[in-house]
Chain A
C-alpha cells in the first residue's frame, strides 16, 4: 500500500506525462506537484476533481468489437448480484462454492445478475473479448495483472448490444488511473484495453466463468 504522498506524486506524474491528454490537462496536473508534496490528501482530492471534469470531455467512439470486463467473485458478489440473491449468501466464499458446483456457472451468474449498473465509468475498463478467449483463470490473471486470484467472472459486451445501449469507448488515459489510485498504470499497460462511461445492464451479452 503506497502512502498518500507517493500516490499523489505518481498520479500527478502519470497525468502530466501522458501525451494523449490535452496540454491544459497535463499542465493542471503538473501545477498540483507542490501541493502533492505538502498536502498529498488534498492533492488527491483535486486530482479526483480533475478526473471528473476531464473524462466527460474526452472524445469517444462506438465500439467495433466485442469487449469484456473481468472481475473476481468477491467484486461480482459485492456489486453485481441481485440483492434478492445476495441476501442469502453471507460471504463471497460461500457464493463462489455455490457457483463452482453449478453445471452451468455462466448461466447461473447471468440469472443472478441484478438490475443495477454493470459497472460505473471509473471502473469500466474493458478488454477485447478475443484477448480472453481460451484463457484459463491463471492465464487471465497474468494478462490482466490482477492481484486477486481466480476464479473470475467475465462479462462480455457484444458490439450489437453496446451499440443499442449507446455505449462508447476510448483508449484509457492517465487521468483514468486516478479513481482507483493505479500508480502502476502506464499507456498500453493492458494491450487494446478500452474504457467507457457507465456500462448499463442492457449492454451485456453473456457471462462466462473462468476457474
Chain B
C-alpha cells in the first residue's frame, strides 16, 4: 500500500462516520477501525490513508476527534497521508498534532520537503525532533527513553523495561492484507511501521524488530543491513484465513527475543482452536464414509490401512476414525498425487500418532515418513528434534487444499466448499455450515425430505443464508463409498 489515488465519496463518508461514532474518550484506535478495515474492498483499502487525510480538515470543529484521526494515521504508519496532517499541525500549532505529525514524518517514505516543512515549525521542540530524526542525539533520560521507542536499533539489551516490539510491514503488500495484519499486530501490542517500496531501508532496525515482506524487500534489507538476523525477516506469509493470521502472529512472537513480546490473548480464541494444539488435534469423530469423502480414499482403502495397522480406528458399534487418521490418510494420498515416485506408507502411522504440538506454527511431512513441526525457527523432526535441511517437506496446509488422485477429487479439508467448514473441536469435527452449528449431513437429510422448505422449517435462522454448496457437500458425504 503506497499509492495515493482519490477515494470515493462513499469511502470518505464511511471514514467520517467511523470517526464521528467513535468516542476517543471511550475507544481505542483499533477498536474504532476494526469494522471499517474488515469491510473494505481491495481498492478501498488502498485509498484509506487518503480518505483519512481528507477528512482531517472536516474535523476542525472537534479537536479530540481530529487528533484521534491523526492517531489512526500514526498507529498504522500511513505515511502517504502525512501531507494533510503536517499542514494542519503547522497551521493550528496544536502540540498533540505536531507530535503525531513528527511520528508520521519519521518514515523515510515521506518526502524530504514535507519533513523539512514540519521541522521548520518545530522551534526546538526536542520531543518532536526525536520522533522525526533518528540522527538526533538524546540529552536526557527521558529523551533516551523516547529515542529507544522510536528507533529500536538503539535499545539496550537490558533496558529498565521492555518496549513494544516494532513490526515493519512491506508497504507493497496488498493493502487489505497490510491493514488486516496491522490491526492484529496493534491489538497484540506491537508498534507498526511501514517500509516504502522505493524508500530507503532505514538503519534503525534492531533486535526487537521483525519485518514481514516480499522476497525483493528482504534482499534490499540484507544488502543494506547484512547483520540483521534473517530469522526476523518473514517472507510472503500466507494470509488466506484467520488461522493464517494467527500463525503469522505466533511466528512473529516466536522470533522476538526475550520476554514481554506480543499480547497473543487478542488472538487466543482463534489460537486455542489451532489445529495442532494437542487438545484439539486429538478430537474429531468420523464414520467411515465421511472419512472416505474427506480423504478421497475408497472405504476399502481405509479398511486396508487399518488391517496393516497403519491406522487404528476405534470400534464402537461402528468403525470411527479420528481427525489425525484423516490427516494421515489424506496427506499420504496428497503426496502420491504430487509425485510419480513411490511414497512410503511410513508417513501414515507417523501422522496418525502425532500428538499435536502446542507451539507449532506449521506441521509438515516428508515422503519417507518424517513428521516435522515449525515453531517459528525452521522445520524440526518431531521424533529426533533435529532440524532437517535440503529435504522436500510438504506443508500439511497444502494437503488440506483440494487435490485429485486416481480419478477421485478430495475437497478442501477445512473448507470443503465456500460455506462449509470443518474443525475437530466443532460438532465432533463434522463438516458444517460456516458460522452455524448445523452439519452438512443434517442439511442434506432435510433436503431429501422436503428441499429448502424443510430446511428453513427446521432452521428458520437460515432464511437468506447461502447453503446450497453445503447441502451438496452433505449429499456427497452421505453417498460416499
Contacts and interface: CB of A to CB of B under 8 A. Distances in A.
A151 B28 CA distance: 13
B18 A1 contact: yes
A27 interface: no
Contact of B191 (A44, A72, A91, A123): A91
Contacts of B190: 93
B23 A90 contact: no
A180 B21 CA distance: 7
Contacts of A100: 161
B362 interface: no
Interface string A70-95: 01101100110001000111111110
B260 A74 contact: no
Given A87-B99, A88-B143, A120-B25, A93 B191 contact: yes
Nearest to A4: B17
B345 interface: no
B142 A88 contact: yes
Contacts of B95: 83, 87
Contacts of B99: 87
B150 A90 contact: yes
A164 interface: no
Interface string B2-35: 0000000000000001101101111111010001
Contacts of A61: none
B103 interface: yes
B287 to A, nearest CB: 40
Nearest to B263: A149
A83 B260 CA distance: 26
A148 B31 contact: yes
A176 to B, nearest CB: 12
A7 interface: yes
B265 interface: yes
Nearest to B25: A123
A181 B29 CA distance: 16
B18 A91 contact: no
Nearest to A85: B142
Chain A CB within 10 Å, residue with most, of B23, B26, B127, B164: B26
Interface string A124-139: 0000000000000000
Contact of B31 (A88, A94, A147, A179): A147
Contact of B17 (A3, A79, A101, A149): A3
Interface in B121-143: 127, 131, 142-143
Contacts of A1: 17-18, 21, 35-36
B164 A94 contact: yes
A178 B167 CA distance: 38
A120 B13 CA distance: 28
B434 interface: no
A101 B75 contact: no
Chain A CB within 10 Å, residue with most, of B29, B149, B265: B149
Given A4-B17, A88-B127, A88-B145, A72 B163 contact: no
A2 interface: yes
A126 to B, nearest CB: 14
Interface in A139-178: 147-149
Interface in A1-52: 1-4, 7, 44
Contacts of A91: 75, 149, 164, 191
Contacts of A89: 146, 149
A205 B68 CA distance: 29
A49 B248 CA distance: 47
A74 B29 contact: yes
Given A1-B36, A4-B17, A93 B164 contact: yes
B269 interface: no
A97 B131 CA distance: 19
Contacts of A101: 160-162
Contacts of B29: 74
B189 interface: yes
Nearest to B143: A88
A96 interface: yes
A109 B327 CA distance: 52
Contacts of A147: 27, 31
A119 interface: yes
B129 to A, nearest CB: 11
Nearest to A1: B35
Contacts of B71: 78
A29 B461 CA distance: 33
Contacts of B142: 88
A72 B67 CA distance: 18
Interface string A176-188: 0001110000000
A87 B127 contact: yes
Nearest to A179: B23
Contacts of B25: 71, 75, 78-79, 119-120, 122-123, 180
A4 B13 CA distance: 10
B445 interface: no
Given A88-B127, A94-B149, A149 B24 contact: no
B28 A180 contact: no
A180 B26 contact: yes
Contacts of B164: 91, 93-94, 97
A71 B27 CA distance: 9
A90 B266 CA distance: 22
16 contacts: A2-B21, A74-B29, A75-B28, A78-B24, A78-B25, A83-B95, A87-B95, A90-B131, A93-B189, A94-B164, A97-B161, A119-B25, A120-B25, A148-B27, A148-B31, A180-B23
In order of increasing CB-CB distance, the 9 nearest A-B pairs are A1-B35, A87-B127, A93-B164, A101-B161, A180-B23, A123-B25, A88-B142, A88-B146, A90-B149
Given A88-B146, A90-B131, A148-B31, 10 more contacts: A75-B24, A75-B25, A83-B95, A87-B95, A89-B146, A92-B28, A97-B161, A97-B162, A100-B161, A123-B23
Interface of B: 17-18, 20-21, 23-29, 31, 35-36, 67-68, 71, 75, 95, 99, 103, 127, 131, 142-143, 145-146, 149-150, 160-164, 186, 189-191, 260, 265-266
Interface of A: 1-4, 7, 44, 71-72, 74-75, 78-79, 83, 87-94, 96-98, 100-101, 119-120, 122-123, 147-149, 179-181
